[in-house]
Amino acid sequence: MIPNTNYSQLKESYLFFNIAQKTKAWQDQHSGQRLLRMGIGDVSLPLSPAVISALHGAVEDQAKAGSFHGYMPECGAPFLREAIAAHYQTKGVDIDSEEVFVSSGASDELGDILDLFQRGQTVAIMEPAYPAYVDANLMAGNRILKVEASQEQGFLPLPEEGLEADLIYICSPNNPTGAAYDREQLRKWVDFANQKDAVILFDAAYEAFIEDPEVPHSIFEIEGAKTCAIEICSLSKTAGFTGTRCGYTIIPRELTRGGMNLRQMWIRNRTTKTNGVSYIIQKGAAAVFTPEGQAQIQENLRIYKENAKTLMRALDTTGIWYTGGKNAPYIWMRCPAGMDSWAFFDLLLDRAQIVGTPGEGFGACGRDFFRFSTFSSPQDTAEAAQRLAHLL
């Protein structure tokens, strides 16, 4: 037996471990002092009433012979696939329900989708990046081509002369930088992928935070995307499903490579490798797409967006460079006074009792930057903003 030796390529991720260790050490020495946690990428508000009511209803369905559901269709329940397709139509994107695949979340799909492609592909990953992109591709034995983003391009790199890649991960709005591509910029990536026969894996996990009308919610708003892109989305941040688990993937009928149809291949994959997402969860997810559900999730999103504004106002008083916050629940700021991100982490913890996330954890080019998340309570965010402005 030979194990998958690609696993030996994986680097230990010390990021959240180090943060936890440092935070605990500080707390042991300063018992009784309250820390403001502005680092977490998890939501803090509960599921909306429409979702809770649908979940309860679905549990009751499972209690009675007449409404009980056993195995669900592997690619997703028609009622949810149709609700998602109808939601795309409201954004002006023509997707039909059979191009929608219900999943247990975006993380699962970002790695599993690699089953569609031959091993040993060259995969372009823009850094700083959500760490799962790199690790899933290392496990799959792919070759990673890091496309480094910088402050000069607003952390929105564009395809450059000489770039050769089979797969391209794009996350917009981005985690960790919060930067989001506008239509014109995304069109450059779509044209590039079509020209090179590459496939874009578009991570739209934060689309619900977009405020700017120039920023597309879906890559399929861009002409030509249906022949070069797969969109992976999640209800985690949109509707507070981080612990409930549901997402969806869009593979257009038009997407073919080497004479093979990727949507057909994914149907074959799903019918082999899953037995679908639970009926109860899919009922809860479908409630997100009702008018009532949409209004309620907007209320939660509004609170996170207000948090972002509170932090941005504080940063604006300091003159420090930052991006994000406008279309995403993350703010990515340049560390002050030439500090690196771990030095700033220590300073912030020690002098302002704020825990954030050092940019270096998302790739070497994040060394001088720092991520704040806006998922905390408005009270903690306001307090953190005040302390931050004072410190800086």
- Residues interacting with ligand PLP, by CB under 6 A? 41, 105-107, 130, 171, 175, 203, 205, 234, 236, 242, 247
Smallest gap from Cβ 276 to ligand PLP, in A, equals 16
List the Cα angle 146/148/151 in 5-degree steps.
165
Q: What are phi and psi of 389, to 5 degrees?
A: -60, -40
Q: Which two tokens stand for residue 328?
A: 């995403």
Closest to 292 measured CA to CA, from 5, 49, 38: 49
- Measured distance CA(121)–CA(99) in Å, rounded: 25
- Measured distance CA(264)–CA(281) in Å, rounded: 25
- Measured distance CA(192)–CA(163) in Å, rounded: 10
Residue type, 129: A
Q: Which two tokens stand for residue 182?
A: 């506008």
Half-sphere exposure for 358 (CA within 13 Å, toward CB): 26
3-state secondary structure of 111: helix
**Tokens 């591509």, located at residue:** 181
* Of residues 289 and 383, the one with the C-beta less far from ligand PLP: 289
- Measured distance CA(283)–CA(165) in Å, rounded: 39
* Of residues 136 and 352, the one with the C-beta less far from ligand PLP: 136
* Of residues 112 and 383, the one with the C-beta less far from ligand PLP: 112
Smallest gap from Cβ 205 to ligand PLP, in A, equals 4
Element (H, E) at 373: strand 369-373
Contact between 384 and 356 (Cβ < 8 Å) = no
Smallest gap from Cβ 330 to ligand PLP, in A, equals 9
- Measured distance CA(58)–CA(286) in Å, rounded: 11
135: left (phi over 0), alpha (psi -120 to 50) or beta: alpha
* Of residues 203 and 231, the one with the C-beta less far from ligand PLP: 203
Smallest gap from Cβ 88 to ligand PLP, in A, equals 18
Contact between 14 and 352 (Cβ < 8 Å) = no
Smallest gap from Cβ 351 to ligand PLP, in A, equals 28
- Measured distance CA(215)–CA(180) in Å, rounded: 7
* Of residues 173 and 352, the one with the C-beta less far from ligand PLP: 173
* Of residues 115 and 340, the one with the C-beta less far from ligand PLP: 115
* Of residues 15 and 389, the one with the C-beta less far from ligand PLP: 15
Smallest gap from Cβ 20 to ligand PLP, in A, equals 17
Smallest gap from Cβ 323 to ligand PLP, in A, equals 16
Contact between 128 and 107 (Cβ < 8 Å) = no
* Of residues 234 and 282, the one with the C-beta less far from ligand PLP: 234
* Of residues 326 and 352, the one with the C-beta less far from ligand PLP: 326
